[in-house]
Structures are given as C-alpha cells and as structure tokens.
C-alpha cells in the first residue's frame, strides 16, 4: 500500500513537470539557484553558509589567518578587536578547536583573541612566538598569554620571552612538559597570573600548586576545583563558572 502511494506521487509529479506546472504561465517554472529550502516555514541555510571554519568555528565570528613558524604555515583565527590581545594555546593532541567555543566569549568582552594550531612538538615555543607576533601586527598593544595543558606550560614559559605581556593563565599546565618548562619563567614574571586545575586530574593539581609557589608575581591566584576535567574541558565541567570567573578576573586585572 505504501509503495503504491509513492508510485502515485511520483507519477503526479512527473505529469506536473511535463505540463509546465502552473495555471498562470505557459513557460516552465523557474527555481532560485540557492540550495536553501523552506520546511514548515523555517528557512534552512545553504551548505556553504553552514560550513564551519576549520570544522569548529561559526561562520562570520572569526577571521581565518596563517601564522608562519619554523618554516610551516599554521592555521589560526582571530576574534574581536581591541588594544588588548589574548593568545590561546591548545593542549597536546588538540587543535585551535579546543578554544573555538571560548574565544568568542572573550571577544565579546572586548578582547582581540587569537587561537592557532601548534606545528611540531619541537617548535611549540616558536609557534607561540609567531602567534604573539601576529596579534601585535593586528593591532594589540598589550598581550595576555593563556593555554591548556601543554599550551599552558608554553604560555607561561613565553611570558619571560615576549614583550608587553601583562598577564597569563594556565589550565591544567604541567610544570615541565618535554622541552617546555614553566617554573623558570614564573619565577621572573611579575604581572597577574592564574594557575587552575582539577583536583582529581592526575598530577596536574600538584603542578599548579608548584607553579603557584614558585611564581614571583604579587598578584597570583591558584584555583583547584573538584572533578577530573582537563584543560579547556574545565569550561564544561561542574566548576565551569568558577573557572570562567577566575579567568575573567585575571583578564580584567591584566588589562587595567
């Protein structure tokens, strides 16, 4: 019965097409070139409009960029405008997409935010330097460095190597990771700095405590939250509001 109904529908559609399809026009019906469709009064966007930048960034919310580092061209994106720039580094095995839902929030608060992909493990410091250089070229006068896990360690390490860095924060950063080390830098960094981690996330809470103890800044904060979320996942865990509040507070102090 269902098959019969479908055959009837197909035959009727074919007959309408052959007849021109309209009582008020002798010509064949014309259709818009757009692939948009209306279903129950709702317009569906074209595939091109729905395509996400790098597979994770909403169209129109960021500008795609290329950051050149150590002979490689790295994918990057910048959100927002303003004289205070934030460079965010992702965790090992991740990508700029780790920050794709967080960067727009920070841009809405008035910051210029750059996220980027690391190249090779041996070049992460060069990559962070190149990203920081890029955001300066875009107009940022003061810089805040942030990162998750490996990216957090790199962000802390680069505070001692970059100029005009007015603040830094790390989420689940190890004190030492491969060829990156945060402890020597935080011993010299004097601007506001935040170290955050989840209590049950391996040794990362202990590393956050060690970094906090070593930090020379008088405006330093340690935030250990319950749970086991790691890196940017802290923004989606049960302590998300505490993490967001602490990062926002750090940014406000650094930018003032």
Entry field: residues in the chain: 256
Q: Which residue has the tokens 């839902």?
A: 101
Q: 161: which residues sit within 8 A by CB, 6+ positions away?
A: 125, 129, 185
Residue 23 carries which DSSP code? S
Residue 212 lies in a domain: yes
Q: Which residue has the tokens 């008020």?
A: 24
Residue 207 lies in a domain: yes
Residue 95 lies in a domain: yes
**Which residue ranges of the chain lie beneath pLDDT 50?**
1-49
Its pTM stands at 0.81
Residue 8 lies in a domain: no
Q: What is the pLDDT of residues 160-197, one digit of tens each?
A: 999 999 999 999 999 999 889 999 999 999 999 999 99
Residue 91 lies in a domain: yes
pLDDT at 16: 33
Residue 45 lies in a domain: no
Residue 66 lies in a domain: yes
Is 90 in contact with 82 (CB distance < 8 Å)? no
Is 109 in contact with 103 (CB distance < 8 Å)? no
Overall number of domains in the chain = 1
pLDDT at 50: 53
pLDDT at 23: 36
CA nearest to 89, candidates 138, 134, 177, 156: 156
Please give the biggest Cα pair distance in the chain: 83
Q: What is the CATH number of the domain that holds 137?
A: 3.40.50.1820
CA distances from 71 to 65, 114, 119, 141, 247 (A): 16, 20, 10, 26, 33
Is 173 in contact with 182 (CB distance < 8 Å)? yes
Is 132 in contact with 160 (CB distance < 8 Å)? no
Residue 12 lies in a domain: no
Instruction: Supply the range of the domain harboring residue 72.
Output: 50-255
């Amino acid at each position: 019965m269902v098959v019969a109904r479908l055959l009837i529908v197909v035959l009727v559609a074919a007959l309408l097409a052959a007849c021109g399809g309209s009582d008020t026009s002798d010509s064949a019906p014309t259709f818009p070139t757009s692939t948009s469709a209306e279903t129950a009064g709702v317009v569906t966007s074209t595939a091109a409009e729905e395509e996400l930048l790098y597979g994770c960034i909403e169209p129109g919310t960021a500008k795609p960029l290329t950051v050149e580092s150590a002979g490689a061209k790295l994918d990057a994106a910048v959100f927002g405008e303003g004289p205070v720039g934030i460079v965010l580094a992702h965790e090992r095995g991740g990508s700029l997409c780790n920050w794709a839902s967080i960067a727009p929030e920070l841009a809405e608060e008035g910051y210029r935010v750059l996220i980027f992909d690391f190249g090779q493990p041996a070049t992460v410091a060069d990559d962070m330097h190149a990203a920081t250089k890029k955001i300066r070229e875009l107009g940022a006068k003061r810089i805040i460095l942030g990162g998750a896990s490996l990216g957090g360690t790199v962000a802390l390490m680069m505070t001692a190597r970059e100029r005009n860095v007015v603040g830094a924060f790390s989420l689940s950063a190890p004190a030492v990771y491969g060829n990156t080390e945060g402890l020597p830098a935080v011993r010299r960094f004097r601007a506001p700095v935040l170290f955050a981690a989840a209590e049950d996330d391996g040794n990362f809470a202990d590393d956050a405590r060690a970094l906090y103890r070593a930090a020379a800044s008088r405006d330093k904060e340690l935030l250990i939250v319950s749970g086991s979320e790691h890196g940017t996942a802290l923004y989606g865990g049960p302590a998300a509001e505490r993490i967001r509040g602490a990062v926002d507070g750090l940014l406000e102090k650094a930018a003032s």
